[in-house]
Amino acid sequence: MTLAAASHGFLSPTGVEIAFLLVGLVTFGAAVVTVTTRQLVHAALWLVVALGGLAVEYLLLTAEFIAWVQVLIYVGAVVVLILFGLMLTRAPIGRSPDADSGNRWAALTVAVASAAALVWVVVDAFRTTWIDLDGPAAGSTAVTGASLFQNWVLPFEALSVLLLAALVGAIVLSRKAKAARAGEAPPAKTSPTGASSSGTSPSGASSSGTSQTGGVR
């Protein structure tokens, strides 16, 4: 990274920056469609586009590791989980007339406010910082691993504990439901734990996957 902000104009039109902007527009558009479309499954699929666009943005910023993890966790697992849930409950083809929210204006306000806050914080923090795209990748796996386990190890571990707690909580909840049902009815052989553990698997996969590979470095 260089601090030579003066040598860069604001959005000097290099190829990467143009691509960054275009992909950003696509991502933004996909995100807007995600929350406005009346077709439930289409919303989930537009979410794929938005998350994929985000991954491309990471790639353009040389954060390769984050980009692929983004695809792996969000597109590969979270969206699949959402689609799974949708298909399991209700996924009509065509518009759902009730796929609307009464407090859309409140939601819009909150969204704009949080976006503004994030943009303001990021702009304020990195105003004069430029990523040198030609030099060694600033977001490669090695760099990410090193910084994660040297500078950010405490938040990382705290997050791991949080996810672990969620995992344990899910198991406890499903166990209780099973015990309660077993009390009133003859015990069934099929265990509901499979569903619950599959529900928590993406988070489990994300934490252990990243921690293991990062731990090597």
Partner 1 sequence: MNDALDVTLRLLIVFVVFLAFPLIVGQTEHKVMAHMQGRLGPMYAGGFHGWAQLVADGVKFAQKEDVVPADADRRIFQLAPAVALLPYLLVLLAIPVGPGEGAVGQVVDAGVFFVLAVMGVGVLGSLMAGWSSANKFSLLGGLRTAAQLLAYELPMLLTAASVAMAAGTVSLVGILDAFEWWWLPWQIVGAVVFFVAGLAELQRPPFDMPVADSEIIFGAYTEYTGLRFALFLLAEYAGIVVLCGLTTVLFLGGWHGPWGADGLGWVWTLLKAAVLAFVVIWLRVTYPRLREDQLQKLSWTLLVPLSLAQIALTGVVKVVIA
What residues line the site for partner 1 (CB under 8 A)?
41-42, 45, 48, 64-65, 68-69, 71-72, 75-77, 79-81, 83-84, 87-88, 91, 93-94, 137, 140-141, 190, 194, 197-198, 201-202, 204-205, 208-209, 212-213, 215-217
Among 169, 148, 143, CA closest to 158: 148
Among 103, 87, 83, 102, CA closest to 43: 83
Among 63, 87, 66, 75, CA closest to 30: 75
Place of tokens 């390769």: 64
CB of 145 to partner 1, least distance (A): 9
Q: Which is nearer to partner 1, 77 or 115 (CB)?
A: 77
Q: Which is nearer to partner 1, 61 or 72 (CB)?
A: 72
The number of angstroms, rounded, from the C-alpha of 207 to the middle of its chain's C-alpha atoms is 13
CB of 43 to partner 1, least distance (A): 12
SS3 2: strand
CB of 156 to partner 1, least distance (A): 16
SS3 57: helix
Q: Which is nearer to partner 1, 94 or 183 (CB)?
A: 94
Q: Which is nearer to partner 1, 183 or 187 (CB)?
A: 187
Place of tokens 């609307």: 100
Radius of gyration of the chain (CA): 22
CB of 55 to partner 1, least distance (A): 8
Q: Which is nearer to partner 1, 19 or 41 (CB)?
A: 41
CB of 166 to partner 1, least distance (A): 16
Ramachandran region of residue 94, left (φ > 0), alpha (ψ -120 to 50) or beta? left
